[in-house]
Amino acid sequence: MNRIPLALIGLLLLASVAFALAEKVSLIEIDGAIGPATATYIARAIEEAARQDAQCLIIQLDTPGGLLDSTKVIVQSLLAARVPTVVYVAPSGASAASAGCFITLAAHLAAMAPATNIGAAHPVQMGGAGQQLDDAMKKKLASFASSYIESIAVKRGRNVEWARSAVQESASISETKALELKVIDLIAVDREDLLRKLDGQKVEGATLRTASAEVVRIPMTLRERVFQMIWRPEVLFVLMLIAIYGIIGELSNPGAIIPGAMGVAALILALYMAAVLPINVAGVALIVVAIILFIAEAFTPTFGLLTLAGIITFFIGSLMLFDRPEPAFRLSLSFIIPATLLTAAFFVFMVSAGLRAQFLPARSGREMMIGRTAPALTVIDSSGGKVFIEGERWNAVSDTPIEKGEPVEIVGAEGLTLKVKPKSKQ
Protein backbone atom coordinates (compact mmCIF):
# COMPACT_ATOMS: atom_id res chain seq x y z
CA MET A 1 0.00 0.00 0.00
CA ASN A 2 2.86 2.37 0.75
CA ARG A 3 4.64 1.65 -2.54
CA ILE A 4 2.03 3.46 -4.68
CA PRO A 5 2.37 6.86 -3.00
CA LEU A 6 6.15 6.52 -3.05
CA ALA A 7 6.05 5.75 -6.79
CA LEU A 8 3.84 8.76 -7.43
CA ILE A 9 6.18 10.98 -5.47
CA GLY A 10 9.10 9.67 -7.49
CA LEU A 11 7.33 10.37 -10.77
CA LEU A 12 6.49 13.89 -9.63
CA LEU A 13 10.10 14.52 -8.67
CA LEU A 14 11.31 13.23 -12.03
CA ALA A 15 8.75 15.40 -13.84
CA SER A 16 9.80 18.49 -11.90
CA VAL A 17 13.49 17.82 -12.64
CA ALA A 18 12.70 17.29 -16.32
CA PHE A 19 10.71 20.53 -16.40
CA ALA A 20 13.56 22.41 -14.75
CA LEU A 21 16.04 20.99 -17.25
CA ALA A 22 13.84 21.69 -20.30
CA GLU A 23 15.39 24.05 -22.80
CA LYS A 24 14.04 27.60 -22.78
CA VAL A 25 13.90 30.33 -25.38
CA SER A 26 13.19 33.89 -24.25
CA LEU A 27 10.97 36.11 -26.38
CA ILE A 28 10.14 39.81 -26.59
CA GLU A 29 8.12 41.67 -29.19
CA ILE A 30 8.98 45.15 -30.44
CA ASP A 31 6.20 46.76 -32.47
CA GLY A 32 6.50 50.46 -33.22
CA ALA A 33 9.07 53.22 -33.15
CA ILE A 34 12.42 52.75 -31.44
CA GLY A 35 12.87 55.04 -28.45
CA PRO A 36 14.40 55.20 -24.97
CA ALA A 37 11.88 52.75 -23.48
CA THR A 38 12.63 50.22 -26.25
CA ALA A 39 16.36 50.44 -25.56
CA THR A 40 15.83 49.87 -21.83
CA TYR A 41 13.49 46.94 -22.50
CA ILE A 42 15.86 45.14 -24.88
CA ALA A 43 18.88 45.63 -22.62
CA ARG A 44 16.95 44.23 -19.64
CA ALA A 45 15.60 41.33 -21.70
CA ILE A 46 19.12 40.33 -22.72
CA GLU A 47 20.22 40.21 -19.09
CA GLU A 48 17.05 38.35 -18.06
CA ALA A 49 17.53 35.73 -20.82
CA ALA A 50 21.10 35.17 -19.64
CA ARG A 51 19.91 34.68 -16.04
CA GLN A 52 17.29 32.20 -17.25
CA ASP A 53 20.04 30.29 -19.07
CA ALA A 54 17.93 30.51 -22.21
CA GLN A 55 19.14 29.01 -25.46
CA CYS A 56 18.63 32.40 -27.08
CA LEU A 57 16.63 35.61 -26.94
CA ILE A 58 14.26 36.12 -29.86
CA ILE A 59 13.39 39.74 -30.59
CA GLN A 60 10.35 39.80 -32.87
CA LEU A 61 10.65 43.14 -34.64
CA ASP A 62 8.36 45.38 -36.66
CA THR A 63 9.46 49.01 -36.70
CA PRO A 64 9.35 52.00 -39.06
CA GLY A 65 12.51 53.42 -37.47
CA GLY A 66 13.42 55.44 -34.45
CA LEU A 67 15.94 57.59 -32.66
CA LEU A 68 19.65 57.30 -33.32
CA ASP A 69 20.69 57.50 -29.67
CA SER A 70 18.30 54.70 -28.67
CA THR A 71 19.44 52.61 -31.64
CA LYS A 72 23.07 52.92 -30.56
CA VAL A 73 22.18 51.73 -27.05
CA ILE A 74 20.37 48.69 -28.46
CA VAL A 75 23.22 47.83 -30.83
CA GLN A 76 25.72 48.05 -27.99
CA SER A 77 23.55 45.73 -25.88
CA LEU A 78 23.28 43.19 -28.72
CA LEU A 79 27.01 43.21 -29.46
CA ALA A 80 27.84 42.72 -25.78
CA ALA A 81 25.12 40.12 -25.11
CA ARG A 82 26.09 37.05 -23.05
CA VAL A 83 23.24 35.08 -24.59
CA PRO A 84 22.67 34.36 -28.32
CA THR A 85 20.31 36.93 -29.81
CA VAL A 86 17.95 36.44 -32.74
CA VAL A 87 16.10 39.30 -34.43
CA TYR A 88 13.04 37.98 -36.26
CA VAL A 89 11.32 40.50 -38.55
CA ALA A 90 7.72 39.36 -38.34
CA PRO A 91 4.82 38.87 -38.88
CA SER A 92 4.22 39.02 -42.65
CA GLY A 93 3.99 42.65 -43.72
CA ALA A 94 6.42 43.78 -41.02
CA SER A 95 9.56 45.79 -41.72
CA ALA A 96 12.93 46.51 -40.16
CA ALA A 97 13.32 50.00 -41.56
CA SER A 98 15.81 52.67 -40.60
CA ALA A 99 16.83 51.94 -36.98
CA GLY A 100 15.41 48.43 -37.32
CA CYS A 101 18.00 47.64 -39.98
CA PHE A 102 20.86 48.43 -37.59
CA ILE A 103 19.24 46.32 -34.87
CA THR A 104 18.68 43.34 -37.17
CA LEU A 105 22.26 43.36 -38.43
CA ALA A 106 23.61 43.57 -34.86
CA ALA A 107 21.98 40.32 -33.69
CA HIS A 108 23.88 37.01 -33.66
CA LEU A 109 21.27 35.57 -36.03
CA ALA A 110 18.81 37.44 -38.24
CA ALA A 111 15.58 35.99 -39.62
CA MET A 112 12.62 37.33 -41.56
CA ALA A 113 9.10 36.15 -42.22
CA PRO A 114 7.69 36.00 -45.76
CA ALA A 115 6.50 39.34 -47.24
CA THR A 116 8.70 41.47 -45.01
CA ASN A 117 11.45 43.97 -45.84
CA ILE A 118 14.59 45.49 -44.39
CA GLY A 119 16.61 48.61 -45.18
CA ALA A 120 16.19 52.35 -45.79
CA ALA A 121 18.62 53.18 -43.00
CA HIS A 122 19.41 56.73 -44.09
CA PRO A 123 20.44 58.83 -41.05
CA VAL A 124 18.02 61.68 -41.89
CA GLN A 125 15.18 59.21 -41.48
CA MET A 126 16.64 57.94 -38.22
CA GLY A 127 16.20 61.38 -36.68
CA GLY A 128 18.04 63.23 -33.96
CA ALA A 129 17.12 65.97 -31.54
CA GLY A 130 14.87 67.70 -34.02
CA GLN A 131 17.25 70.27 -35.54
CA GLN A 132 17.18 71.06 -39.22
CA LEU A 133 20.57 69.91 -40.51
CA ASP A 134 22.59 71.81 -43.08
CA ASP A 135 24.33 70.00 -45.97
CA ALA A 136 27.66 69.72 -44.17
CA MET A 137 26.09 68.21 -41.07
CA LYS A 138 24.02 65.81 -43.19
CA LYS A 139 27.20 64.57 -44.87
CA LYS A 140 28.90 64.07 -41.52
CA LEU A 141 25.90 62.19 -40.15
CA ALA A 142 25.66 60.03 -43.27
CA SER A 143 29.38 59.26 -43.07
CA PHE A 144 29.06 58.28 -39.41
CA ALA A 145 26.00 56.09 -40.03
CA SER A 146 27.70 54.41 -42.99
CA SER A 147 30.84 53.55 -41.05
CA TYR A 148 28.74 52.49 -38.04
CA ILE A 149 26.61 50.02 -39.98
CA GLU A 150 29.70 48.70 -41.77
CA SER A 151 31.34 47.91 -38.44
CA ILE A 152 28.19 46.08 -37.33
CA ALA A 153 28.09 44.06 -40.56
CA VAL A 154 31.76 43.12 -40.23
CA LYS A 155 31.28 42.10 -36.59
CA ARG A 156 28.39 39.77 -37.49
CA GLY A 157 29.78 38.57 -40.82
CA ARG A 158 27.03 40.10 -42.95
CA ASN A 159 27.04 41.78 -46.38
CA VAL A 160 29.04 44.97 -45.86
CA GLU A 161 28.34 46.37 -49.33
CA TRP A 162 24.61 46.12 -48.94
CA ALA A 163 24.76 47.51 -45.39
CA ARG A 164 26.55 50.55 -46.76
CA SER A 165 23.97 51.00 -49.53
CA ALA A 166 21.15 50.83 -46.95
CA VAL A 167 22.53 54.03 -45.45
CA GLN A 168 23.93 55.86 -48.46
CA GLU A 169 21.20 54.95 -50.98
CA SER A 170 18.32 54.08 -48.64
CA ALA A 171 18.28 50.59 -50.18
CA SER A 172 15.42 48.34 -49.05
CA ILE A 173 15.03 44.66 -49.95
CA SER A 174 12.62 41.78 -49.36
CA GLU A 175 13.32 38.73 -47.23
CA THR A 176 14.27 36.53 -50.22
CA LYS A 177 16.78 39.08 -51.51
CA ALA A 178 18.11 39.60 -48.00
CA LEU A 179 18.79 35.86 -47.67
CA GLU A 180 20.38 35.76 -51.11
CA LEU A 181 22.70 38.67 -50.29
CA LYS A 182 23.56 37.17 -46.88
CA VAL A 183 22.04 40.07 -45.01
CA ILE A 184 20.03 37.61 -42.90
CA ASP A 185 20.56 33.97 -41.96
CA LEU A 186 17.18 32.38 -42.60
CA ILE A 187 13.52 32.79 -43.52
CA ALA A 188 10.87 31.39 -41.16
CA VAL A 189 7.15 31.23 -41.85
CA ASP A 190 6.18 31.54 -38.19
CA ARG A 191 7.63 31.23 -34.71
CA GLU A 192 7.46 27.41 -34.66
CA ASP A 193 9.25 27.29 -37.99
CA LEU A 194 11.85 29.68 -36.61
CA LEU A 195 12.54 27.44 -33.60
CA ARG A 196 12.99 24.41 -35.90
CA LYS A 197 15.41 26.27 -38.17
CA LEU A 198 17.37 27.73 -35.27
CA ASP A 199 17.94 24.25 -33.87
CA GLY A 200 21.51 23.19 -34.52
CA GLN A 201 22.74 26.69 -35.42
CA LYS A 202 26.16 27.52 -33.96
CA VAL A 203 26.60 30.82 -32.18
CA GLU A 204 30.07 31.65 -30.87
CA GLY A 205 30.94 27.97 -30.42
CA ALA A 206 27.62 26.94 -28.82
CA THR A 207 24.97 24.87 -30.59
CA LEU A 208 21.37 26.00 -30.16
CA ARG A 209 18.77 23.44 -29.06
CA THR A 210 15.45 25.09 -29.80
CA ALA A 211 13.33 22.52 -31.63
CA SER A 212 11.39 21.51 -28.51
CA ALA A 213 12.28 24.45 -26.30
CA GLU A 214 9.73 26.21 -24.15
CA VAL A 215 9.12 29.82 -25.22
CA VAL A 216 9.16 32.17 -22.23
CA ARG A 217 7.99 35.74 -22.79
CA ILE A 218 9.74 38.57 -21.01
CA PRO A 219 7.07 41.25 -20.54
CA MET A 220 7.66 44.95 -20.18
CA THR A 221 7.72 46.30 -16.67
CA LEU A 222 5.16 48.91 -15.65
CA ARG A 223 7.81 51.62 -15.89
CA GLU A 224 8.79 50.54 -19.41
CA ARG A 225 5.15 50.39 -20.52
CA VAL A 226 4.50 53.88 -19.17
CA PHE A 227 7.58 55.33 -20.87
CA GLN A 228 6.78 53.47 -24.09
CA MET A 229 3.35 55.08 -24.00
CA ILE A 230 4.46 58.64 -23.25
CA TRP A 231 7.42 58.78 -25.65
CA ARG A 232 5.03 59.62 -28.48
CA PRO A 233 4.47 62.83 -30.47
CA GLU A 234 0.81 62.88 -29.42
CA VAL A 235 1.72 62.90 -25.73
CA LEU A 236 4.30 65.65 -26.18
CA PHE A 237 1.76 67.70 -28.15
CA VAL A 238 -0.86 67.28 -25.40
CA LEU A 239 1.70 68.32 -22.76
CA MET A 240 2.47 71.44 -24.80
CA LEU A 241 -1.24 72.29 -24.95
CA ILE A 242 -1.64 71.74 -21.19
CA ALA A 243 1.37 74.01 -20.58
CA ILE A 244 -0.14 76.69 -22.82
CA TYR A 245 -3.62 76.45 -21.31
CA GLY A 246 -2.33 76.32 -17.74
CA ILE A 247 0.18 79.16 -17.85
CA ILE A 248 -1.94 81.51 -19.99
CA GLY A 249 -5.01 80.64 -17.91
CA GLU A 250 -3.15 81.56 -14.71
CA LEU A 251 -1.94 84.85 -16.20
CA SER A 252 -5.44 85.79 -17.34
CA ASN A 253 -6.98 84.76 -14.00
CA PRO A 254 -4.35 85.46 -11.31
CA GLY A 255 -4.62 83.47 -8.11
CA ALA A 256 -6.18 80.32 -9.57
CA ILE A 257 -2.90 78.48 -8.74
CA ILE A 258 -3.96 75.02 -10.02
CA PRO A 259 -3.86 75.91 -13.77
CA GLY A 260 -0.47 77.53 -13.34
CA ALA A 261 0.95 74.58 -11.40
CA MET A 262 -0.33 72.10 -13.99
CA GLY A 263 0.99 74.25 -16.80
CA VAL A 264 4.49 74.48 -15.31
CA ALA A 265 4.61 70.73 -14.63
CA ALA A 266 3.48 69.98 -18.19
CA LEU A 267 6.05 72.42 -19.56
CA ILE A 268 8.90 70.72 -17.69
CA LEU A 269 7.83 67.29 -18.97
CA ALA A 270 7.45 68.65 -22.52
CA LEU A 271 10.94 70.17 -22.47
CA TYR A 272 12.37 66.89 -21.17
CA MET A 273 10.71 64.90 -23.95
CA ALA A 274 11.62 67.50 -26.58
CA ALA A 275 15.30 66.78 -25.92
CA VAL A 276 14.74 63.26 -27.32
CA LEU A 277 11.83 63.39 -29.75
CA PRO A 278 12.54 64.97 -33.18
CA ILE A 279 10.83 68.36 -32.90
CA ASN A 280 10.90 70.92 -35.72
CA VAL A 281 11.85 74.32 -34.29
CA ALA A 282 9.93 76.12 -37.04
CA GLY A 283 6.74 74.35 -35.93
CA VAL A 284 7.26 75.52 -32.34
CA ALA A 285 7.85 79.09 -33.55
CA LEU A 286 4.60 79.08 -35.54
CA ILE A 287 2.63 77.83 -32.53
CA VAL A 288 4.11 80.65 -30.40
CA VAL A 289 3.12 83.18 -33.09
CA ALA A 290 -0.40 81.73 -33.10
CA ILE A 291 -0.69 82.23 -29.34
CA ILE A 292 0.43 85.87 -29.71
CA LEU A 293 -2.23 86.40 -32.39
CA PHE A 294 -4.92 84.88 -30.16
CA ILE A 295 -3.95 87.16 -27.27
CA ALA A 296 -3.72 90.23 -29.53
CA GLU A 297 -7.33 89.64 -30.60
CA ALA A 298 -8.42 90.42 -27.04
CA PHE A 299 -7.05 94.00 -27.29
CA THR A 300 -7.58 94.93 -30.94
CA PRO A 301 -10.94 95.32 -32.72
CA THR A 302 -10.10 93.17 -35.76
CA PHE A 303 -13.48 91.41 -35.77
CA GLY A 304 -11.90 87.94 -35.69
CA LEU A 305 -9.19 88.43 -38.32
CA LEU A 306 -6.37 87.85 -35.84
CA THR A 307 -8.18 84.79 -34.49
CA LEU A 308 -8.49 83.37 -38.01
CA ALA A 309 -4.81 84.08 -38.63
CA GLY A 310 -3.99 82.39 -35.32
CA ILE A 311 -6.01 79.29 -36.23
CA ILE A 312 -4.23 78.95 -39.58
CA THR A 313 -0.80 79.56 -38.03
CA PHE A 314 -1.45 77.08 -35.21
CA PHE A 315 -2.63 74.44 -37.71
CA ILE A 316 0.45 74.83 -39.92
CA GLY A 317 2.76 74.85 -36.89
CA SER A 318 1.19 71.64 -35.60
CA LEU A 319 1.68 70.00 -38.99
CA MET A 320 5.34 71.03 -38.99
CA LEU A 321 5.99 70.22 -35.34
CA PHE A 322 6.96 66.62 -36.14
CA ASP A 323 7.91 66.94 -39.79
CA ARG A 324 9.24 63.39 -40.19
CA PRO A 325 8.82 60.73 -42.88
CA GLU A 326 8.03 57.95 -40.38
CA PRO A 327 4.33 57.69 -39.42
CA ALA A 328 5.33 57.02 -35.81
CA PHE A 329 6.84 60.52 -35.56
CA ARG A 330 3.99 62.48 -37.16
CA LEU A 331 0.74 63.95 -35.88
CA SER A 332 -2.39 62.91 -37.76
CA LEU A 333 -5.00 65.39 -38.96
CA SER A 334 -7.56 63.67 -36.75
CA PHE A 335 -5.44 64.85 -33.81
CA ILE A 336 -4.36 68.28 -35.10
CA ILE A 337 -7.78 69.61 -36.21
CA PRO A 338 -9.57 69.11 -32.85
CA ALA A 339 -6.54 70.50 -30.98
CA THR A 340 -6.53 73.61 -33.19
CA LEU A 341 -10.26 74.26 -32.71
CA LEU A 342 -10.03 73.62 -28.96
CA THR A 343 -7.10 76.03 -28.61
CA ALA A 344 -8.89 78.73 -30.59
CA ALA A 345 -12.01 78.32 -28.43
CA PHE A 346 -9.91 78.44 -25.25
CA PHE A 347 -8.38 81.79 -26.19
CA VAL A 348 -11.55 83.32 -27.64
CA PHE A 349 -13.97 82.42 -24.85
CA MET A 350 -11.78 82.12 -21.75
CA VAL A 351 -8.46 83.91 -22.05
CA SER A 352 -9.84 86.95 -23.89
CA ALA A 353 -12.57 87.40 -21.29
CA GLY A 354 -10.08 87.11 -18.45
CA LEU A 355 -7.62 89.55 -20.00
CA ARG A 356 -10.32 92.09 -20.82
CA ALA A 357 -11.66 91.91 -17.27
CA GLN A 358 -8.23 92.81 -15.88
CA PHE A 359 -7.95 95.95 -17.99
CA LEU A 360 -11.54 97.22 -17.72
CA PRO A 361 -12.13 100.18 -15.39
CA ALA A 362 -13.63 99.38 -12.02
CA ARG A 363 -17.44 99.31 -11.99
CA SER A 364 -17.96 98.99 -8.22
CA GLY A 365 -16.27 99.59 -4.87
CA ARG A 366 -13.97 102.39 -3.77
CA GLU A 367 -12.11 102.53 -7.09
CA MET A 368 -15.18 103.83 -8.93
CA MET A 369 -15.33 106.88 -6.59
CA ILE A 370 -11.94 108.19 -7.69
CA GLY A 371 -12.41 111.38 -9.68
CA ARG A 372 -15.92 111.97 -8.32
CA THR A 373 -17.02 115.13 -6.52
CA ALA A 374 -18.77 115.15 -3.13
CA PRO A 375 -19.68 117.71 -0.43
CA ALA A 376 -17.70 117.92 2.80
CA LEU A 377 -19.94 117.12 5.76
CA THR A 378 -17.38 118.44 8.24
CA VAL A 379 -14.09 120.24 8.22
CA ILE A 380 -11.56 118.00 6.54
CA ASP A 381 -7.81 118.16 7.14
CA SER A 382 -4.92 115.73 7.59
CA SER A 383 -6.44 114.45 10.83
CA GLY A 384 -9.75 113.48 9.24
CA GLY A 385 -13.27 114.51 8.34
CA LYS A 386 -16.42 113.29 6.61
CA VAL A 387 -17.80 113.35 3.04
CA PHE A 388 -21.14 112.16 1.67
CA ILE A 389 -21.11 110.06 -1.54
CA GLU A 390 -23.14 107.19 -2.98
CA GLY A 391 -25.69 107.67 -0.21
CA GLU A 392 -23.11 106.96 2.49
CA ARG A 393 -20.88 108.88 4.91
CA TRP A 394 -17.16 108.22 4.39
CA ASN A 395 -14.08 109.12 6.40
CA ALA A 396 -11.83 111.49 4.48
CA VAL A 397 -8.43 113.14 4.82
CA SER A 398 -6.88 116.05 2.95
CA ASP A 399 -3.45 117.63 2.91
CA THR A 400 -5.17 120.97 2.29
CA PRO A 401 -7.79 122.06 4.90
CA ILE A 402 -11.34 122.06 3.52
CA GLU A 403 -14.28 123.87 5.11
CA LYS A 404 -17.63 122.23 5.77
CA GLY A 405 -19.96 122.29 2.76
CA GLU A 406 -17.21 122.87 0.18
CA PRO A 407 -17.02 120.43 -2.76
CA VAL A 408 -14.12 118.02 -2.71
CA GLU A 409 -12.62 115.77 -5.37
CA ILE A 410 -11.79 112.18 -4.40
CA VAL A 411 -8.25 111.32 -5.51
CA GLY A 412 -7.63 107.98 -3.78
CA ALA A 413 -8.74 105.43 -1.24
CA GLU A 414 -6.93 103.74 1.61
CA GLY A 415 -8.96 101.13 3.42
CA LEU A 416 -12.23 102.80 4.45
CA THR A 417 -10.78 106.31 4.23
CA LEU A 418 -10.95 108.46 1.09
CA LYS A 419 -8.19 110.86 0.10
CA VAL A 420 -9.64 114.14 -1.12
CA LYS A 421 -8.57 117.60 -2.27
CA PRO A 422 -10.46 120.85 -2.73
CA LYS A 423 -12.44 120.89 -5.96
CA SER A 424 -10.80 123.39 -8.22
CA LYS A 425 -13.16 126.11 -9.32
CA GLN A 426 -13.65 126.39 -13.08
List active site positions: 98, 140
> What is the distance in angstroms between the CA of the first residue and the CA of the last residue of the chain?
128
* Cα–Cα distance measured from residue 200 to residue 211, given in angstroms and rounded to the nearest whole number: 9
Q: Residues near 271 by Cβ (< 8 Å), separated by ≥ 6? A: none
Q: Residues near 408 by Cβ (< 8 Å), separated by ≥ 6? A: 373, 374, 375, 376, 380, 387, 396, 398, 402, 420, 421, 422, 423
Give the residues across from 215 on adjacent strands.
Answer: 25
The residue type of 353 is A
- Contacts made by residues 395-398, CB under 8 angstroms, sequence distance 24+: 396/420, 398/422
> Can you spell out the DSSP letters for 211-266?
TTPEEEE-PPPHHHHHHHHHSSHHHHHHHHHHHHHHHHHHHHSTT--HHHHHHHHH
Give Cα 15 distance to the centre of its chain: 49
* Cα–Cα distance measured from residue 185 to residue 198, given in angstroms and rounded to the nearest whole number: 10
